[in-house]
């Protein structure tokens, strides 16, 4: 794990803080939220600067190179599942904190879902090059796997939003981007797939570059594209959801990280709605983000 206490950080100066909302970004939120309502997804251009892409890529490369055991999953030797995945990134390296509350992305998450949130999952996904192309790419699915099976495809609400940041060039077909079916969040049944190709009749390849972000909600069908290119596809994804839905890939975070967070970033990294004595907070666990959202005129 790589956590350290920087000289600048102390109890009164949190190292990790929620952003103050830029008026230009605020002015775009309504249109972006409407796009997400309509298509179940959207692209945010230049969501993070090149320095962030590099920093996060360096952290991710280090973890993959060292083959650290915590959070690791290695896919099948062949096919689109030939990939290395790590979960629970905020437990692995603090450079991923650059992607917890980006000012271009996080306010939109709160505008769409509200303030009763926590971070539900984080993952890095390195899809190996030269994959044997699989029919249907890497399996079409909705997120919060099991939710539509349990609740019914016609009865699954929006509960979470995932944000994908691509750290390698995914501009060419076959370079392993995530494929999407815009509008499929409104489907009332399992996604129909063509028996010959294994793919939906219509799907899209987002036109994005490193630094852009793709947001999608839990009901939007998507699949990792076969990576038949000569390069590793590198991506980091962070998911936010309601505090009454269990985080997917962590139980807790290191005290030394939480102690350096402001109340909003701490709320996002805390998985439970319990007070220190074990009693229930009864919604008070979302107070920090509720107050922040109200100050930013988001609520």
Identify which of residues 224 and 241 has a Cβ nearer to ligand AKG in the complex. 224
- Give me the least distance between CB of 122 and ligand AKG, in Å please: 11
- Structure tokens, 267: 């709320």
Q: Which of 75, 107, 210, 224 binds ligand AKG (CB under 6 A)?
A: 224
Give the C-alpha separation, 172 to 240, whole Å: 29
- Give me the least distance between CB of 177 and ligand AKG, in Å please: 7
58 phi/psi in degrees, rounded to 5: -60, -40
Identify which of residues 112 and 179 has a Cβ nearer to ligand AKG in the complex. 179
Identify which of residues 122 and 178 has a Cβ nearer to ligand AKG in the complex. 178
Core vs surface per residue 176-186: b (16+ CB within 10 A) or e:
bbbbbbbebbe
- Give me the least distance between CB of 224 and ligand AKG, in Å please: 3
Restricting to residues 234-253, which ones interact with ligand AKG according to CB under 6 A? Answer: 235
- Give me the least distance between CB of 247 and ligand AKG, in Å please: 15
Identify which of residues 117 and 125 has a Cβ nearer to ligand AKG in the complex. 125
Identify which of residues 51 and 139 has a Cβ nearer to ligand AKG in the complex. 139
- Give me the least distance between CB of 66 and ligand AKG, in Å please: 21
Q: What does the DSSP assignment read for 40-89?
A: SEEEETT-S-HHHHHHHHHHHHHHHHHT-STTEEE--SSSTT-EEEEE-G
Q: Strands 160-166 and 178-180: what pairing?
A: unpaired
Restricting to residues 43-62, which ones interact with ligand AKG according to CB under 6 A? Answer: none
Residue 136, classified by CB atoms within 10 Å of its CB into exposed (0-12), middle (13-18) or buried (19+), is middle
Restricting to residues 89-148, which ones interact with ligand AKG according to CB under 6 A? Answer: 125
Identify which of residues 40 and 285 has a Cβ nearer to ligand AKG in the complex. 40
Position 222 contacts ligand AKG (CB under 6 A): yes
Instruction: Enter the DSSP assignment of 261.
Output: B
Identify which of residues 221 and 292 has a Cβ nearer to ligand AKG in the complex. 221
Contacts of residue 171, defined as CB under 8 A and 6 or more positions apart, other chains included, come to 207, 208, 209
Instruction: Enter the DSSP assignment of 238.
Output: E
H-run or E-run covering 127: strand 117-127
Contacting positions for ligand AKG (CB under 6 A): 125, 178, 222, 224, 235
């Amino acid at each position: 794990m790589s956590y350290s206490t920087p000289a600048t950080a102390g109890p009164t100066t949190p190292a990790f803080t929620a952003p103050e909302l830029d008026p230009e970004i605020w002015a775009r939120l309504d249109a972006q939220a409407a796009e997400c309502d309509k298509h179940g997804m959207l692209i945010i251009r230049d969501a993070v600067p090149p320095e962030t892409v590099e920093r996060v890529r360096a952290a991710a490369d280090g973890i993959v190179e060292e083959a650290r055991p915590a959070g690791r999953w290695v896919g099948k030797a062949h096919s689109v599942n030939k990939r290395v995945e790590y979960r629970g990134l905020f437990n692995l390296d603090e450079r991923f904190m650059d992607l917890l509350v980006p000012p271009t992305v996080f306010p939109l998450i709160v505008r769409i879902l509200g303030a009763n949130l926590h971070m539900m999952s984080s993952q890095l996904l390195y899809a190996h090059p030269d994959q044997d192309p699989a029919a249907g790419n890497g399996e079409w699915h909705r997120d919060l796997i099991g939710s539509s099976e349990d609740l019914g495809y016609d009865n699954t609400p929006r509960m979470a939003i995932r944000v994908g940041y691509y750290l390698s060039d995914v501009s060419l077909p076959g370079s392993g981007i995530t494929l999407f079916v815009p509008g499929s969040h409104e489907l009332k049944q399992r996604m129909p797939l063509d028996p010959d190709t294994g793919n939906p009749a219509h799907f899209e390849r987002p036109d994005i570059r490193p630094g852009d972000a793709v947001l999608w909600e839990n009901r939007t069908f998507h699949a990792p594209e076969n990576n038949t290119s000569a390069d590793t596809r590198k991506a980091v994804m962070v998911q936010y959801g309601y505090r009454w839905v269990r985080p997917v890939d962590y139980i807790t975070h290191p005290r030394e990280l939480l102690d350096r967070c402001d109340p909003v970033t701490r709320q996002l990294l805390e998985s439970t709605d319990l007070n220190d004595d074990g009693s229930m907070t009864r919604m008070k666990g979302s107070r920090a983000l509720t107050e922040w959202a109200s100050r930013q005129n988001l609520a």
